[in-house]
Amino acid sequence: MTEKLSVLGSTGSIGTQSLDVAEMRGYEIIALTADRNAKVLEEQIRKWKPKYAALNDEEAAKALKIAVADTDTKVLSGPDGVVFCAAAEEADTVLNSVVGIAGLKPTLTAIGEGKNIALANKETLVAGGALVMKKAKEKGVKILPVDSEHSAIFQCLEGMNKKDELKSIILTASGGPFFGKKREELENITVAEALKHPNWSMGAKITVDSATMMNKGLELIEAVWLFDVSPDMIDIVVHRESIIHSLIEYNDNSVIAQL
């Protein structure tokens, strides 16, 4: 049971929503980190009073240190500062919503310190799945998926008695803003158009990855590692309404979905 939480990537979409949940559940916030958004991180520090905070951008961290000098929060900087927050002794769970491959080292460090991982950084498993899952098993820590689709699968699997009952995992995709367009219509697409996701408000990288459907390829790799299944057990379906987050199919062909 989580009681003390470190949030990596606390100023992003998932980070801010996670802090809302932490407030509802009464979790203590031990550490907060972000890339360079000193303004929002300062606001979070004043609200949550974490023991530690870190900005990946060193110049932004200098400004933050001055801005929160009247608080008891210790401000760190650079990738090492983020890793320090991931390993903070007082935390029992580390939520990783850092963008990109930068999330791998903090995840491995936190696992090494025996922290459970609430994972919203899919690149951690895309790039280092074998390493991460092996280390988690050795340390006896849980990897808990936070992303919509993988959290849905995780919850659906809770009702399964034995792993050999599972026939397939079904990931859903909205299809993004370019669904149904012909090849010639895609030749002059702009970044602004790619960022107009039909259903969700997300960070720029994941929104562009969703527009190209690359994100679903990354999610397939993530699911292989998280749920210890082969790629051929995973299907991907376009579901424009985004009501169903994901599904699992049993050997008897019954299906459980999270909506």
4 exposure class (CB count in 10 Å sphere: 0-12, 13-18, 19+): middle
Q: In the prediction, which pLDDT does 65 show?
A: 97
Chain center to CA of 210: 15
Both tokens of 216, joined, read 């679903």
Q: In the prediction, which pLDDT does 161 show?
A: 86
Q: In the prediction, which pLDDT does 201 show?
A: 85
Q: How many Å apart are CA 140 and CA 127, to the nearest integer?
A: 21
Q: In the prediction, which pLDDT does 225 show?
A: 97
The count of residues in the chain is: 259
pTM of the predicted model as reported, rounded to 2 decimal places: 0.89
185 exposure class (CB count in 10 Å sphere: 0-12, 13-18, 19+): exposed
User: How many CA atoms lie within 13 Å of 10's alpha carbon, on the beta-carbon side?
Assistant: 33
In three-state form (DSSP H/G/I as H, E/B as E, the rest C), the secondary structure along the chain is CCCEEEEECCCCHHHHHHHHHHHHHCCEEEEEEECCCHHHHHHHHHHHCCCEEEECCHHHHHHHHHHCCCCCCEEEEHHHHHHHHHCCCCCCEEEECCCHHHHHHHHHHHHHCCCEEEECCCHHHHHHHHHHHHHHHHHCCCEEECCHHHHHHHHHHCCCCCHHHEEEEEEEECCCCCCCCCHHHHCCCCHHHHCCCCCCCCCHHHHHHHHHCHHHHHHHHHHHHHHCCCHHHEEEEECCCCCCCEEEEECCCCEEEEC
Q: What is the maximal distance between C-alpha atoms in the chain?
A: 62
Phi and psi at residue 120, to the nearest 5°: -125, 20
The domain spans of the chain are 4-146, 150-258
CATH code matching the domain that covers 4-146, chosen among 3.40.50.720, 3.30.420.10, 3.20.20.150, 3.30.300.30:
3.40.50.720
| pLDDT tens digits, 228-259 | 999 999 999 999 999 999 999 999 999 999 99
Q: How many Å apart are CA 134 and CA 215, to the nearest integer?
A: 24
Q: In the prediction, which pLDDT does 2 show?
A: 82
Q: One digit per residue, pLDDT tens: the chain, 259 residues? A: 789 999 999 999 899 999 999 999 999 999 999 999 999 999 999 999 999 999 999 999 999 999 999 999 999 999 999 999 999 999 999 999 998 899 999 999 999 999 999 999 988 999 999 999 999 999 999 999 998 899 999 999 998 888 889 999 999 999 999 999 999 999 999 999 999 998 888 888 889 999 999 999 999 999 999 999 999 999 999 999 999 999 999 999 999 999 9
Q: In the prediction, which pLDDT does 133 show?
A: 97
Can you say whether residue 247 is alpha, beta or left, with left for phi > 0 and alpha for psi between -120 and 50 degrees?
A: beta
